[in-house]
Chains A and B, each alone.
Chain A
Amino acid sequence: MNNLVQVQNVSKSFGEVNAVKGVSLEIDQGKFFSLLGPSGCGKTTLLRLIAGFEIPNSGKILIDNKSMDGVEPNLRPTNMVFQNYAIFPHLNVEQNVSYGLRKKNLSKAEKDEMISQVLELVGLTGLNQRSANALSGGQKQRVALARALILKPKVLLLDEPLSALDKKLREQMQLELRHLQRAVGITFILVTHDQEEALTMSDKVAVMFDGEVEQVDSPRKLYERPASQRVASFIGDMNFINEKALETKDGLKVKSKILGDIFIPKNQVSGKLSNNKIIIGIRPEMISIITKNSDSKGLISGKITDISYFGVTTYYKIECGSNAKALSVSAQNSFGQMDYKIGETVKLKMDVNSLVGFLD
């Protein structure tokens, strides 16, 4: 598997604002790659740097081992799906889709064949003559995809393509995009601020904050072993507990008031230990409420202070100890389960293997 796109120490600033600060990335051929981060983190700028709409102040971008220095957007092997789709309003679906074919030396029959193939691929068969203004949001999205895919780019760039769609359609398009990517085998680079979207669609995700890439990993790794507190709280929920730790040969020993005596192996800890401070992170679903009072060994007791019902799950806020922050606990709902009340005292069990430690 070769690195199709290589971003080498790229920086870009707009006036005083440093949008991208020395980012390096390697993106494999044929993968679905996402740039995830809060708005203003530089992810869209990075995408536009790859597309050629922005020129880096320093650093290099290589696509298929060719330097993109001084290469105009129209000569790059990339195509882009814009956030607002940028469908040409004076052209119909077919004219929009075949826009990029003009410079290719193709016969009318070849073009027609390509157009009908790509329209079928995105599910717009028969809408060739539909005017751009008569398209729904979802259809515009498909036209934008078809228009880019018909040129068979090496890299397809997607700038928050689903953010304008309603929730149902967005979820459907997430699946469709994923299938489409596998079907055509083109490398997709998606920019999104929606962590769920990034996790469900991508082979790999780069999480960005303040113009820097904080972690590049598979969705599962990102969720289970976040490299920093920021990544952990951006992707899903996590409880953070401040503790003091002692270093041993293969991990950290922590005597916790809440969690008791625990040991966190080295590979679950990020950062270097200084002044013994550690922040322990645990996901809400890794804490379970124990109903049977049989064996209370290793269990923590706490008081429920808040309950919110979400259908699939229920979220509890549980206070363990008087001056500690309440823990978030989420439990899968099942039929006929115990109904807890606010104020009730319960026993909690933590999945110790899921703990992660963050050092300064």
Chain B
Amino acid sequence: MTRSSKYLKFFAFTYLIFLYAPALLLPIFSFNSSQIIAFPLTGFTFHWFETLLHQSTLHEALRNSLIVAVSSSVLATILGILASRSATRYDFTGKQISLTFILAPLVLPEIIVGVALLIVLMQLGLSLNLWSVVLGHTLLIMPFSILIMNSAFNNLDISLEEASMDLGENQFGTFYRIILPLVFPGIMASLLIGFTLSLDEFIIAFFLTGTDTTLPVYIWAQFRFPKKLPTTMALGTLLLVTSFILLSLSEYFRRRAVNSRSSVL
């Protein structure tokens, strides 16, 4: 082994530790019997997970988060399909610039977007509720949806569509029988990523939520009560595991979408 590759390995290893070690503290303390979040550990318990079952405000926040996550990921994916389809198949003036604007939330500070949306909604005289959060999250997820759907549509060989038309199908039949099944893995990936992003999004939800809080906003509120910290840790652990599973699934679908290309050609 050369000296430089040894250093590189060391660097990569340290990097991963810094990235993930803090997240690993979450599950460790959620199983710790002490109320105080500090080493040394005092004992193993499921108690904090049990307390999760008895908090009705938490259950409501979870329900709200699920509504928001499902609605915004579905909405963003539908819009993403439409935008990507037009971007990959048709040429029109202003295509590049409108794509850039749709992708902008990727780099815009969320707090700015949150405040801006709040001002707009207030000016329009709309009340804040879960649907305003859905709109905000859709805006946030759209860039991810578009990027995923773009690669799915780019992998689609145009002669497949022509072949379908040639064999007697109209535009709609072709979309339903050929295009949709072939971009399906991309759609799944987009839904899962959108769901995950929305589920743990805090800033926009914080600004746009009315009386119905979402899960991250609820967690933030819990930090005022030091006694409840271990329970929050337990909740955090569950969210971490859920996000990990969802992201792995979405990566699986995304790769399947890419693989389907090699079989086409």
Contact = CB atoms under 8 A, between A and B. Distances in A.
Nearest to A159: B159
A89 B263 contact: yes
Q: How large is the interface on A (under 10, 10 to 19, 20 to 34, 35 or more residues)?
A: 20 to 34
Interface stretch (B34-42, B82-90, B166-174): B166-174
Contacts of A83: 159
A134 B181 CA distance: 19
B182 interface: yes
B164 A89 contact: no
A86 B168 contact: no
B167 A99 contact: yes
Contacts of B163: 80, 82, 86, 88, 147
Contact of B168 (A51, A84, A100, A132): A100
Q: How large is the interface on B (under 10, 10 to 19, 20 to 34, 35 or more residues)?
A: 20 to 34
A72 B165 contact: yes
B167 A79 contact: yes
Given A72-B165, A80-B163, A132-B263, A86 B170 contact: no
Which residue among A51, A53, A90 has the maximum number of chain B CB atoms within 10 Å of its CB? Answer: A90
B50 interface: no
A53 B162 contact: yes
A15 to B, nearest CB: 11
Contacts of B173: 102
Interface string A147-191: 110010000000000000000000000000000000000000000
Contacts, number: 66
A51 B178 contact: no
Given A84-B157, A133-B263, A72 B166 contact: no
A74 B162 contact: no
B170 A80 contact: no
Contact of A86 (B159, B177, B260): B159
B154 to A, nearest CB: 15
Contacts of A138: none
B13 to A, nearest CB: 39
Interface in A68-124: 72-75, 78-80, 82-84, 86, 88-90, 99-100, 102-103
Contacts of B168: 74-75, 100, 102-103, 151
Contact of A74 (B159, B165, B177): B165
Interface in B100-159: 157, 159
B97 interface: no
A330 B157 CA distance: 45
The B interface is mostly helix, strand or loop, or mixed, namely helix
Contacts of B181: 90
A75 B169 CA distance: 9
A147 B162 CA distance: 14
Given A84-B265, A89-B264, A151-B167, A73 B182 contact: no
Contacts of B157: 84, 86
A82 B265 CA distance: 12
B198 to A, nearest CB: 30
B160 A88 contact: yes
A90 B183 CA distance: 11
Given A84-B157, A88-B160, A74 B166 contact: yes
Contact of B182 (A72, A89, A103, A151): A89
Nearest to B158: A86
Contacts of A100: 167-169
Given A73-B166, A79-B167, A84 B159 contact: yes
A176 B211 CA distance: 74
B257 to A, nearest CB: 12
A89 B181 CA distance: 10
A79 B170 CA distance: 14
Nearest to B265: A84
Contacts of B164: 88, 99
Contact of A88 (B165, B178, B265): B178
Which 10 A-B residue pairs are closest in the complex by CB-CB distance?
A100-B167, A86-B163, A86-B159, A133-B263, A73-B165, A89-B263, A100-B168, A80-B166, A82-B159, A74-B165
12 contacts: A72-B165, A72-B170, A73-B162, A73-B165, A74-B170, A83-B159, A86-B159, A86-B162, A86-B163, A99-B164, A102-B169, A147-B167
Given A73-B162, A74-B169, A82-B163, 9 more contacts: A51-B166, A53-B162, A75-B168, A82-B162, A86-B157, A86-B162, A88-B178, A103-B169, A133-B263
